[in-house]
Chain A
Amino acid sequence: MSNFNRRHFIKVAASVTAVGIAGCTTLPKLKAEKRVVVIGGGAGGATAAKYIRKNDPTIEVTLIEAHKYHYTCFMSNEVIGGERSIQSIKFSYDKLAGYGINIVHDLAIEIEPISKKVTTRNGDVFYYDRLVVAPGIDFKWNEVEGYDPQIASIKIPHAWKAGSQTILLRKQLEAMQDGGTVIISVPRRPFRCHPGPYERASLIAHYLKTHKPASKVLILEPSKTFAQQKLFVQAWKRLYGFGTKNSLIDWLPAAEGGKVSELDAKNMIIHSTSGEQHKADVINLIPPQQAGNIAVVSDLVNGSGWCPVHHQTFESMRYKDIHVIGDASIAKPMPKSGYSANSQAKVCAIAIVRALQGKEMLTPNFLNACYAVLGKDYAISVAAVYKLENNKITFKGAGGLSPMDASEEVRRRELLYAHSWYNNITQDIFE
């Protein structure tokens, strides 16, 4: 083991001793506590940690999160469009600590499913009875030639994890001359938040409309169609002249050069698989995705790069006592969204608490709702409840999209509701 340094050794020794003492002591106060470790403090992991403590305060919960603050991807497109501050999507873990969750800011680098322990980059070791893995996504960097994490961090942002990437893209838009072109390159599916790139295109167009009206957004699409296409196109026609000569948004499907093969970052050119070249002033290249690295290196993924789980409990199909929730898991037909992750986390919390108490799991149900903000006083939504049938998450017809041709008033209401949703869900996750 290459990272088995002295510090690491001492930590392991220390925690083994601690367990040993707790195990053989007769003091009633030191009864053997159940331990849950959660990796990742985003929409899924933070919710799971909180609800496990809420459901059974005798369970010891440790949340391992790489960053001191979490920036939500949801509403980050409003930051990119200049409609909200980066501070307003930033959350600390102070309030979660109030639930008695042990918060550790470190990167989990190894899971050992047999000895049931997690090792972090600092060399700390955490033993668990149950483990929740909620690392979100990571990128498949090798699929677009010329693109790598280094270039992403300074010049060609993906902004598909929020924070410094969000700020970088926003600054580039502010610095751009009027008359410029902004490219949004959409990855192949599945990826985090399928409507996200089109919401982003809309809010960038909204910014350009008032500040740089001779500019435009060019969306490069690797397939033929996209999520909620009709609703987006209707909004773009109403708000941004879509389909006219002066449209603020252009959309190129695969057949028209939308499928990206190579990035020439130096000359700000994107090459398509069919030979077209697209030159731009700002490039937002969103790479193809898979489950967060820790899930990949811990063998929790299958050939698709995502983690198969039992839908009743979100326990991994590959390793016992490990649950995977949120974007990293395969939960189709639920989309990879913040609301899905939050809802799965609550089911997972009940499953874990009941398992540790020796109780049978119930039949769960799940909910997802996503709002997309498309411009001034304009939002659309999708909402659905999912049930479990034959051990699979199933959509039974209780759900749907905002209707086509709705009035301005309805679209305005959905924007008010979208902001309400954001206030409430972030409280549910982080407070």
Chain B
Amino acid sequence: MNKFKLLLLASLLFNTAWASDELSMLVDNCTGCHGKEGNSLGPAIPIIASMNPNTFVKAMQEFKNGERPATVMKYLAKAYTNAEFKQMADYFANQKFIPNEQIVELDRVARGKVVYGKYCQMCHLKNVYTGKGSTIIEGQWMDYLRLNLSDFYTGIRDMPRPIQLQVQMLVKAEGEDSIEDIIHYLGSVYNQ
């Protein structure tokens, strides 16, 4: 598919999204916390615009079942069915990801870029439509990344086995502080 067709498709999806009151009724309630079209203004509630729809549904199901640690989402997710998760997922997947400028330390960014490329990038591709990725983490709110990586690291949040191995390798080879370096790099990606 060429670029033009993709754009056209995106705008069609976008328009139908706004045309349906049923859908608005579902997703507009999220705006107060996740921001306009899922683009949270931070500092910690995540941007969910452009989130991979499969990961989105998985996240909501895990919140609902109490499998993923959460403050409010474990309550809110209980209100919805799988079909509704899917509708929400498709809507947010089609919203443009709009990151914000964040305060970063440049030496950390430089170090983070290297280790991120080595240990993480292969899975966290920028293009979320490939179906492999998770949330877009390049440009995500740093506080949110910090909370989740800490939950992964301490085991509070279950981490798929391959990621776990990768993170363990990272910490062993580069030290625990390299996680903070990666966070600064991810936070800097869209700073211009």
Residues of A within 8 A of B (CB): 51, 54-55, 339, 342-343, 346-347, 350, 353-354, 362, 364-367, 369, 381, 383-385, 387, 396-400, 402, 410, 413-414, 416-417, 419-421, 423-425, 427-428, 431
A400 CA to B26 CA, complexed, in Å: 19
Point out the residues of chain A lying under 8 angstroms from B21, CB to CB.
55, 350, 353-354, 362
Q: Does B158 contact A (CB under 8 A)?
A: no
Expressed in whole angstroms, the minimum distance between the Cβ of A205 and any Cβ of chain B is 24
With A369-B72, A399-B75, A402-B71 already in contact, the answer to whether A427 and B24 are too (CB < 8 A) is: no
Q: Does B10 contact A (CB under 8 A)?
A: no
Point out the residues of chain B lying under 8 angstroms from A342, CB to CB.
32
Q: Are A339 and B79 in contact (CB under 8 A)?
A: no
Q: Are A424 and B147 in contact (CB under 8 A)?
A: no
Q: Are B71 and A365 in contact (CB under 8 A)?
A: no
Q: Are B79 and A364 in contact (CB under 8 A)?
A: no
> Looking at the complex, which one of A369, A398, A399, A427 makes contact with B41 (CB distance below 8 Å)?
A427
- Encoded as 1 (CB less than 8 Å from any A CB) or 0, chain B from 25 to 49 comes to 1101111111110001111110000
Expressed in whole angstroms, the minimum distance between the Cβ of A293 and any Cβ of chain B is 27
> Looking at the complex, which one of A55, A347, A413 makes contact with B147 (CB distance below 8 Å)?
A413
Q: Are B76 and A398 in contact (CB under 8 A)?
A: yes
Expressed in whole angstroms, the minimum distance between the Cβ of B81 and any Cβ of chain A is 11
Q: Does B132 contact A (CB under 8 A)?
A: no
Q: Are A343 and B42 in contact (CB under 8 A)?
A: no
Q: Does B118 contact A (CB under 8 A)?
A: no
Expressed in whole angstroms, the minimum distance between the Cβ of B30 and any Cβ of chain A is 8
Chain A residue nearest to B33 (CB atoms) is A421
Beyond A399-B76, A413-B71: 5 further Cβ-contacts under 8 Å? A343-B29, A353-B21, A367-B76, A424-B33, A424-B40
Point out the residues of chain A lying under 8 angstroms from B24, CB to CB.
55, 346, 350
Expressed in whole angstroms, the minimum distance between the Cβ of B22 and any Cβ of chain A is 6
Expressed in whole angstroms, the minimum distance between the Cβ of A220 and any Cβ of chain B is 31
Q: Are A343 and B32 in contact (CB under 8 A)?
A: yes
> Looking at the complex, which one of B31, B75, B78 makes contact with A428 (CB distance below 8 Å)?
B31
A284 CA to B159 CA, complexed, in Å: 50
A410 CA to B147 CA, complexed, in Å: 10
Q: Are A416 and B44 in contact (CB under 8 A)?
A: yes
A55 CA to B25 CA, complexed, in Å: 12
Q: Mind listing 8 A-B residue pairs with CB under 8 Å?
A: A55-B21, A365-B25, A369-B33, A369-B76, A384-B76, A410-B71, A417-B44, A420-B43
> Looking at the complex, which one of B28, B42, B78 makes contact with A423 (CB distance below 8 Å)?
B42
Point out the residues of chain B lying under 8 angstroms from A362, CB to CB.
21-22, 25
> Looking at the complex, which one of B41, B44, B72, B79 makes contact with A387 (CB distance below 8 Å)?
B79
Q: Does B143 contact A (CB under 8 A)?
A: yes
Point out the residues of chain B lying under 8 angstroms from A419, CB to CB.
43-44
CB contacts under 8 Å to A, within B48-92, are 71-72, 74-80
> Looking at the complex, which one of B45, B75, B76, B143 makes contact with A421 (CB distance below 8 Å)?
B45
Q: Are A413 and B79 in contact (CB under 8 A)?
A: no
Expressed in whole angstroms, the minimum distance between the Cβ of A56 and any Cβ of chain B is 11
A242 CA to B78 CA, complexed, in Å: 35
> Looking at the complex, which one of A354, A365, A381 makes contact with B29 (CB distance below 8 Å)?
A365
Q: Are A428 and B36 in contact (CB under 8 A)?
A: yes
Expressed in whole angstroms, the minimum distance between the Cβ of B153 and any Cβ of chain A is 13
Q: Which residue among B32, B44, B76, B141 has the maximum number of chain A CB atoms within 10 Å of its CB?
A: B32
Point out the residues of chain A lying under 8 angstroms from B75, CB to CB.
383-384, 398-400
Q: Are B32 and A369 in contact (CB under 8 A)?
A: yes
- Encoded as 1 (CB less than 8 Å from any A CB) or 0, chain B from 11 to 24 comes to 00000001001101
Q: Are A397 and B72 in contact (CB under 8 A)?
A: no
Expressed in whole angstroms, the minimum distance between the Cβ of A412 and any Cβ of chain B is 9
A346 CA to B44 CA, complexed, in Å: 25
A54 CA to B26 CA, complexed, in Å: 16
Question: Which 8 A-B pairs rank lowest in CB-CB distance, beginning with the nearest?
Answer: A398-B79, A385-B79, A416-B44, A420-B45, A367-B29, A398-B78, A423-B41, A383-B72
Expressed in whole angstroms, the minimum distance between the Cβ of B6 and any Cβ of chain A is 26
